[in-house]
């Protein structure tokens, strides 16, 4: 639940300062919070002087807000609300509509908004966003809803706590980078998992086996070790927003099973795992989940052809992504149990890849729903990059030209505007498409 603050700005000379508009709008905003998922955590008395603005700014800072709305009930000059714009938090400048449109000018609120967005703010490191309309107006609700999506994603990237279990997969050097957004990354070796495995009780395995309800190419007995691994991973993941795990080669070598079906079944229950120790990929998953409120996954680009770009991974996706029946099958390379095999459901998708140097890629497209390789897979038949439409070929070329790591964090639905705003709040540079097909080799 995001915490929003509201500071109404009034100029007593304007008629609109005496209509109680700030009270009505705060009540409407509080009702809207129940619908859009925020708490109106701080409401100031109307501000008409600099000293009042300074006091309101101090109180807003102490309230631990995720967003402060500076509400232009009427016109006001810049010095009255400047202390609020200098706060180190997301700030929105909001103007109420006029109560009538002929005769004496009642509020001049939108002019106050215009003055506010034009102010030079050399000391402010974070962007501002403007809003206009009554809380009931569609335009206001759409803009605020988009900002709430973005701020939910930004919040988990600033405040999330994740576990890096075992480091990266062998030779996956691009996955050594860590988020630069404030996310807390705690490291642990795989011995933590081995200890958890030793503590799993057979009665717990029996319970999972008795409740198992998925198609499988295995009888229950060969799956017991995957259930045991599932229980151990759940224990290790407690208290974290997500886990980036080095799931090979040690787990199959030591435990005799692949981790993917265990990761998939835990994803069904709301856990978030990133394979191959990809912490940046995990951060992208968590941000996408906060924005979309649905599960996000990591995928590889595994094939390109006339159908588009095939996105695939080893079989750890939750059933929420299934575009058809799911089943547990042997791993395509090792032949060990088990991976979840399923087509990824058709529909729009959105992606976020965080990169070193406070950079990011925002992308999207459309999955066909047609299954490709064993595991979880489908074809990206339409593509876009930071809102720019691309062909699948141009998407692939851009991905390779930018030398991006080979995991795409992908979420359900079209959320690129929210992700672009998220990057703005966090000060991340969004890379443009780079679809030059005749490009030459890169410099180190």
Do 301 and 371 share a domain, yes or no? yes
Residue 290: the pLDDT is: 98
Domain annotation covers residue 154:
no
Q: Does any domain span residue 384?
A: yes
Co-location of 307 and 370 in the same domain: yes
| Cβ contact 403:442 at 8 Å | yes
Per the DSSP assignment, residues forming a β-bridge with 342 are 376
Asked if residue 308 belongs to a domain, the reply is yes
- Residue 402, pLDDT > 90, answer yes
State the average pLDDT over residues 14-36: 97
pLDDT of residue 423: 98
Mean pLDDT over 385-404 rounds to 97
**Whole-model pTM?**
0.97
Average pLDDT, the chain: 97
Residue 443 pLDDT exceeds 80: no
Same domain, 188 and 267: yes
Q: Is 103 part of a structural domain of the chain?
A: yes
Tokens of 312: 């695939």
Domains in the chain, number: 2
- pLDDT tens by residue, 227-270: 999 999 999 999 999 999 999 999 999 999 999 999 999 999 99
Return the structure tokens found at 137.
């107006």
Together in a domain, 315 and 415: yes
For residues 165 and 47, membership in a common domain is answered with: no
Instruction: Say yes or no: 112 and 174 in one domain.
Output: no
pLDDT one-digit tens code per residue, 32-88: 999 999 999 999 999 999 999 999 999 999 999 999 999 999 999 999 999 999 999
- What pLDDT band is residue 201 in, cutting at 50, 70 and 90? very high
- Cα 1 to Cα 74: distance, rounded to the nearest angstrom: 30
Q: Residues 83-137: pLDDT tens digits?
A: 999 999 999 999 999 999 999 999 999 999 999 999 999 989 899 999 999 999 9
Q: Is 299 part of any domain?
A: yes
| 200 and 128 part of one domain | no
- What pLDDT is attached to residue 438? 85
Residue whose C-alpha is closest to residue 185's, from 143, 215, 156, 147: 156
CATH code, domain carrying 330: 3.20.14
Q: How confident is the model at residue 439 (pLDDT cuts 50, 70, 90)?
A: confident
Is there a single domain that holds both residue 225 and residue 279?
A: yes
Mean pLDDT computed over 395-402: 96
Query: In the predicted model, is pLDDT for residue 342 greater than 90?
Result: yes
Calculate mean pLDDT across residues 401-417. Answer: 97
- Give the CATH number, domain containing residue 40: 3.40.50.10940
Please say whether the dihedral angle defined by the alpha carbons of residues 155, 39, 134 and 110, taken in this order, is positive or negative: negative
Q: For residue 259, what are the domain limits?
A: 161-430
- Cβ-based neighbours of 196, under 8 Å, separated by 6 or more: 231, 232, 233, 235, 236
Average confidence (pLDDT) over 145-160: 98
Assigned domain for 124 exists:
yes
Nearest 5°: phi and psi at 342? -170, 155
Same domain, yes or no: 202 and 130: no
- pLDDT computed for residue 440 by the predictor: 72
Q: Would you say residue 143 lies in a domain?
A: no
Q: pLDDT-based confidence at 444, cuts 50/70/90?
A: low
pLDDT attached to residue 123? 86
In a 13 Å sphere around the CA of 27, the CA atoms on its Cβ side amount to 5
Helix pair angle (260-268, 220-237), 10° resolution: 60
Q: How far is CA 169 from CA 250, 274, 297, in A?
A: 10, 11, 18
Report which of 159, 151, 132, 152 is spatially closest to residue 143, judged by C-alpha positions. 132
Pair (349, 241) in one structural domain: yes
Do 124 and 185 lie in one domain? The reply is no
Sign of CA dihedral 23, 28, 34, 37: negative
Indicate whether 165 and 260 sit together in one domain.
yes
CA distances from 399 to 138, 369, 395 (A): 36, 22, 6
Whether residue 86 lies inside any domain: the answer is yes
State the Cα–Cα distance between residues 43 and 3, nearest whole angstrom.
Answer: 11
């Amino acid at each position: 639940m995001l915490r929003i603050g509201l500071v109404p700005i009034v100029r007593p000379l304007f008629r609109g300062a005496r209509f109680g508009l700030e009270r009505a709008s705060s009540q409407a905003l509080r009702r809207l919070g129940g619908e859009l998922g925020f708490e109106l955590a701080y409401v100031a008395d109307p501000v008409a002087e600099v000293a009042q603005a300074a006091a309101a700014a101090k109180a807003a800072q102490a309230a631990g807000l995720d967003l402060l709305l500076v509400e232009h009930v009427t016109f006001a000059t810049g010095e009255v609300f400047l202390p609020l714009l200098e706060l180190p938090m997301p700030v929105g400048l909001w103007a109420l509509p006029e109560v009538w449109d002929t005769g004496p000018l009642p509020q001049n609120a939108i002019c106050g908004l215009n003055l506010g967005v034009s102010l030079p703010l050399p000391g402010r490191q974070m962007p501002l966003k403007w809003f206009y309309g009554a809380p009931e107006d569609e335009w206001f609700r759409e803009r605020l809803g988009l900002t709430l999506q973005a701020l939910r994603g930004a919040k988990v990237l600033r405040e999330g706590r994740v576990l890096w279990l075992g480091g990266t997969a062998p030779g996956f050097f691009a996955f050594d980078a860590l988020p630069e957004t404030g996310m807390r990354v705690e490291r642990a070796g795989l011995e933590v998992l081995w200890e958890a495995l030793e503590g799993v009780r057979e009665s717990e395995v029996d319970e999972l086996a008795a409740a198992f309800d998925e198609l499988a190419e295995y009888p229950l007995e060969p799956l017991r070790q995957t259930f045991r691994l599932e229980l151990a991973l759940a224990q290790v993941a407690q208290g974290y927003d997500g886990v980036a795990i080095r799931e090979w080669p040690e787990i199959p070598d030591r435990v005799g099973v692949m981790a993917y079906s265990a990761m998939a079944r835990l994803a069904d229950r709301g856990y978030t795992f990133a394979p191959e120790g990809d912490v940046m990929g995990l951060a992208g998953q968590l941000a996408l989940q906060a924005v979309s409120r649905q599960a996000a996954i990591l995928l590889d680009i595994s094939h390109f052809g006339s159908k588009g770009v095939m996105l695939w991974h080893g079989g750890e996706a939750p059933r929420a992504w299934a575009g058809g029946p799911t089943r547990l099958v042997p791993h395509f390379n090792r032949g060990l149990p088990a991976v979840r095999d399923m087509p990824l459901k058709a529909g729009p998708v959105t992606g976020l890849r965080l990169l070193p140097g406070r950079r990011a890629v925002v992308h999207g497209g459309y999955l066909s729903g047609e299954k490709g390789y064993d595991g979880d897979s489908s074809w990206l038949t339409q593509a876009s990059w930071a809102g720019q439409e691309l062909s699948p070929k141009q998407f692939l070329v851009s991905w390779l030209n930018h030398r991006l790591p080979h995991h795409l964090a992908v979420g359900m639905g079209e959320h690129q505007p929210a992700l672009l705003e998220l990057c703005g709040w966090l000060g991340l540079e969004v890379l443009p498409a780079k679809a030059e097909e005749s490009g030459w080799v890169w410099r180190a």
